[in-house]
Structure 1
Amino acid sequence: MLGDAFMLLHTDLPREGPGSDDCTREALRRLRPFLPGSPVVLDLGCGPGRQALVLARELGTPITAVDAHELFLKRLEADAAARGLGHLVRTRCADFGALEDAPGGVDLVWSEGAIYILGWGEGLRRWHPLLRDGGLLAATEATWLTDSPPAEVADFWREAYPRMGTIASNGAAARAAGFEVLDTFVLPASAWWDEYYRPLEARMGSLRERARQDVDLATAIAETEREISLYARYGTSYGYVFYLLRAHGQGRR
């Protein structure tokens, strides 16, 4: 199955999408003035959990990292233990779109490169009830950086992620979901290349011989190569944006 091939392709990558420890720290720096001393934190769709490790070290408070893939969580647990952060990183295997946490009990919801699974507006709608009044949400989302992207890249993302919005439209959706937009910033190109695309290229290289006998894997590699090529040529027209939001009204279901 193609989904299995993509999982194989993404095994043991540092990250499952664009990002960097520096970007995580910068987002947290901008939110610090709005955080209580020992915040309750959920990292939703944590993947291998690089951002959870940064949050745990910077905040010194327990981080609950949620993902539907047990292998990612096991890797995060091992990495946290190796960094002396095992006591601060708690993992939970669950569907982050259907959490049963009590309403209004979370100070900070964090999500890097995962909210697209639900869709931007729908993800915000589902996660808002988790937050206390004035609680914070930090999420990265694939975003158009121009209203007129080149046709080739527009066609690709129209198929891959048809709900991708602009900073303005995503801000409007956030306000409609009960959030104030505190800040936004675009992730630099290095956040795409250093810990995502270049490791992914190396992973593809290691699997090419296997792909000769695996049609699904060959398809996954070809699609990934196309995505990387498009970013190399058109990366100024779209990117990942960190959205830093504050919830209005106590969370409710």
Structure 2
Amino acid sequence: MHAVDSHQPFLDELRRCAEDTDVASRIQTHCMDMSDIPAVFSSIDLIWSEGAAYNIGFADALARWAPALRPGGFAVVSELAWLSDAAPAAARDFFRAGYPDMKQTSENNRLAELAGYRVLGTHTQPRAAWIDDYYEVLKPRATTLASHQDAAVSALAQETLKEIEVFETAGDSYGYVFHLLQRS
């Protein structure tokens, strides 16, 4: 198995966890840009990407990765998506500024098909996945940092608190959707 990330400390942590669970011999880490996957790998059976494709754009990631997948290979890619046309204005405004390319799940499926994939299914992460071990940990820390003397730290903390506030009031209007795709 190959693990790709552009941030070496994340790969170092993966390596430590792999060694602790005696699976390190099965994992090779690569500090690189995800856009470069086809230049380094070919005939991949499975690409798994959680919450990262948006860095280069969902459609762009799928198009770039397609040549690296063997025919019939799979991609499982999560993407933030609108789940309802009736999203509260606060959520629409927040993501219009932070992620203007956010689309409906059906539109992301259409983009996957245009990139040469067959959509086998989708799965929306439950709301609890946002709360447990994420917002419940992040919120107290952001609250503490909101008054930090460094303006950049304070601004990031306040933006994080705004995101949590939007999440708490948005209901099921958006979420992370896993797309199970097969290369045609």
Task: Give me the TM-score of the superposition, normalised by structure 2.
Answer: 0.94
Match of 1:130 in 2: 68
Deviation at 1:199, TM superposition (A): 2.0
| Distance change (3 Å), C-alpha of 1:90 and 1:235 | farther
* % identity of equivalent residues: 38
Amino acid at match of 2:145: R
Between the aligned partners of 1:72 and 1:203, the Cα distance in structure 2 is: 20
The equivalent position to 2:58 in structure 1, one of 102, 117, 120, is: 120
Between the aligned partners of 2:171 and 2:136, the Cα distance in structure 1 is: 15
- Deviations along 1:71-107, one digit per CA (max 9) or x if unpaired, are 111111111111222122221100001231244x100
Between the aligned partners of 2:41 and 2:3, the Cα distance in structure 1 is: 17
Q: After TM superposition, where is structure 1 displaced by more than 6 Å over at least 4 residues in a row?
A: none
Match of 1:97, SS state, is helix
Match of 2:40, SS state, is coil
Between the aligned partners of 1:178 and 1:208, the Cα distance in structure 2 is: 44
Match of 2:178, SS state, is strand
Amino acid at match of 1:142: L
* Runs of at least 5 residues in structure 1 that lack an aligned partner in the other structure: 1-62, 249-253
Match of 1:204 in 2: 142
Match of 2:174 in 1: 238
Match of 1:224 in 2: 160
Match of 1:247 in 2: 183
Between the aligned partners of 2:122 and 2:163, the Cα distance in structure 1 is: 24
Q: Does 1:68 align with 2:2?
A: no
Q: Does 1:81 align with 2:14?
A: no
Aligned residue pair count: 183
**Structure 1 residues 123-132 or 189-198, which shifts more?**
189-198
Between the aligned partners of 1:149 and 1:214, the Cα distance in structure 2 is: 34
Between the aligned partners of 1:148 and 1:202, the Cα distance in structure 2 is: 30
Larger % of helix: which? 2
Amino acid at match of 1:188: P
**Contact kept? 2:142, 2:158, Cα under 8 Å:** no
Larger % of strand: which? 2
The equivalent position to 1:154 in structure 2, one of 83, 92, 98, is: 92
